[in-house]
Chain A
Amino acid sequence: MTATEATLPLQTRVAILLRMLAIQGAWNYETLVGNGIGFCVEPALRRLPGGVGGQPYREALARQSQYFNSHPYTASVAVGALARAELDGVDPAKIERFRTAMCGPLGSVGDRLVWAAWLPLCALSALLVFALGAGALGTVLTFLISYNVGHLALRIWGINVGWRDGLNVAHALGTPVLRHGPVWLARAGTLVAGVALPLVVQRLVGTERSVQVEVLVAVAVGGVLLTRLHGRVEVWKWSLGVLALFALYSVLR
């Protein structure tokens, strides 16, 4: 089958997308997400000559289920590209090289775009909505809808662009959204954080003005001190210790 003849029906794409949601189901410290890649590519491999159980199918599935490391969302780019390469009958050695080469970039792009930008932005936006007075349903839906629109769009885009470009998909990682997206999302995130944090504290502390001011001053001082530490301390663990001591004092005195 040549590159121009290969097609991936909508039904197969949907099957791959649904499996992508479980790509980390067998995540482990030896093959990492490798088995998940084989699991996700499998619906496409059924279209190889001989179908399920045929020699090409078994060889391709074995190849695709070996070690792989990636961000779970951007792994869809690799899944689409690997499905295309297998159906195009690309030399297995070339597929192996592609798998090795894609691990680092896909992990890095996904971590920067999703974990370090999109997720905090969506969480902070939901906290802002909460701070402005939204109830349980409004706050939760704001977070889930905004986050998952981006999440699913990234997975769908990844499968489609991977399938379209096959092993030449690396250039797709240089698209403006992936290259500049983390920067703009981070800027939006800090803006939203600046707006949200005082308002969140205001709503959580309650109506007493003097307490609000004291808490906000403590947050400002603590926040500035933490910037001096440049992220070297896991503050939530220290906070847990302080809270535990305070609880002991409050219960035992």
Chain B
Amino acid sequence: MNAVETGMLSVLGAVLGLDVVSFPQAMLSRPLVAATLTGALMGAPERGLILGATLECFALETLPVGASRYPEWGSSSVVGGALVALPGVRGAGALLLAVIVTLSWAWVGGWSMVQLRRLNAVWARSRHEAVARGSRSTVIGLQLYGMTADLVRGALMTALGLLLFVPLVQLALPRWSTPEVPTRGILMALAGIVAAGATHKVFHAISGTRWYMLAGLVIGGTLMGVLG
């Protein structure tokens, strides 16, 4: 991957990293969107989509609730999307490695968001008196500082992720020895288990949801048979 591609993807990672919390929280940063966009940008939208759909199954378990620490899917999905879209990279091994990289990097990204929130607190504390005086420029400035820092954070996370993982995946893939079918089977079984568990975790408190799930499974199973 050359410097122009790394730069371009870092800009995309910055924008999608910003979307996670700071602006505009339109869920452009969800892996289904971010990985697909990255794949499309690299000329491989279908591979990006397959990765995005797989990652979305994992992401269903991590909801961005309040002050909790959650994975940062925006910039990490750009890194993962870039890995599966690399020229000559094909197969379930590449997909599985991209999933591992994205999940790990999303967790590191979550840590980086915690650091950013601490930095925001330092800035807010140092400007407390100006805010208490009702300074318009300070209130607006704090928002702009925070968003700019988040943008930079996303760009750095993406660039660093690409620098670390592109060579690593290129080194590992030729040595991949497990055949295509079991590799894909293990990955999809785990993705499916996480998605099923997440669905239960999110919705189980609502009465009657198990019956809706069962009805859905009957419809889904029927469609599987029909479609094939």
Also in contact, A25 and B147, with CB within 8 A (given A58-B134, A239-B190) = yes
Binds B, one of A1-9, A77-85, A170-178, A222-230: A222-230
Contact A193 B199 (CB under 8 A): yes
Interchain CB contact (< 8 A) of B186 among A27, A223, A246: A246
Also in contact, A29 and B118, with CB within 8 A (given A35-B142, A127-B56, A201-B188) = yes
Shortest beta-carbon distance, A246 to chain B, in Å?
Answer: 6
Shortest beta-carbon distance, A31 to chain B, in Å?
Answer: 6
**Complex CA–CA separation, A220 to B218 (angstroms):** 13
Return the CB mask of B50-63 against A: 1 if under 8 Å, else 0. 10111011111111
Contact A194 B212 (CB under 8 A): yes
Contact B134 A199 (CB under 8 A): no
**Complex CA–CA separation, A185 to B36 (angstroms):** 26
Q: Does A109 contact B (CB under 8 A)?
A: no
**Complex CA–CA separation, A52 to B135 (angstroms):** 10
Interface size class of A (residues with CB under 8 A): 35 or more
Q: Does A244 contact B (CB under 8 A)?
A: yes
Contact B142 A197 (CB under 8 A): no
**Complex CA–CA separation, A135 to B50 (angstroms):** 10
Residues 37-61 (chain A) with a chain B CB within 8 angstroms: 38-39, 42, 52-53, 57-61
Interchain CB contact (< 8 A) of B61 among A126, A187, A220, A236: A236
Interchain CB contact (< 8 A) of A39 among B140, B207, B217: B140
Contact A219 B192 (CB under 8 A): yes
**What number of B residues sit within 8 Å (CB to CB) of A?**
112
Q: Does B164 contact A (CB under 8 A)?
A: no
Contact A204 B50 (CB under 8 A): yes
Chain A residues with CB below 8 A from B197, complex form: 222-223, 226-227, 229, 231, 233, 235
Task: Name the prevailing secondary structure of the A interface residues.
Answer: helix
Closest to A55 in B: B134
Select the residue from B57, B62, B177 with max chain A CB neighbours within 10 A.
B57
**Complex CA–CA separation, A59 to B133 (angstroms):** 7
Q: Does B120 contact A (CB under 8 A)?
A: yes
Closest to B121 in A: A28
Q: Does A101 contact B (CB under 8 A)?
A: no
Chain B residues with CB below 8 A from A52, complex form: 136
Return the CB mask of B168-195 against A: 1 if under 8 Å, else 0. 0000100111100101111111111111
Q: Does A130 contact B (CB under 8 A)?
A: yes
Contact B193 A222 (CB under 8 A): yes
Chain A residues with CB below 8 A from B117, complex form: 27-29
**Complex CA–CA separation, A205 to B183 (angstroms):** 10
Shortest beta-carbon distance, A136 to chain B, in Å?
Answer: 4
Contact A211 B143 (CB under 8 A): no
Q: Does B8 contact A (CB under 8 A)?
A: no
Q: Does B87 contact A (CB under 8 A)?
A: no
Q: Which residues of A contact B (CB under 8 A)?
A: 21-22, 24-32, 35-36, 38-39, 42, 52-53, 57-62, 65, 69, 71-73, 107, 111, 115-116, 119-120, 122-124, 126-127, 130, 132, 135-137, 139-140, 143-144, 147-148, 151, 182-183, 186-206, 208, 211, 214-216, 218-220, 222-223, 226-227, 229-231, 233-237, 239-240, 242-244, 246-247, 249-253
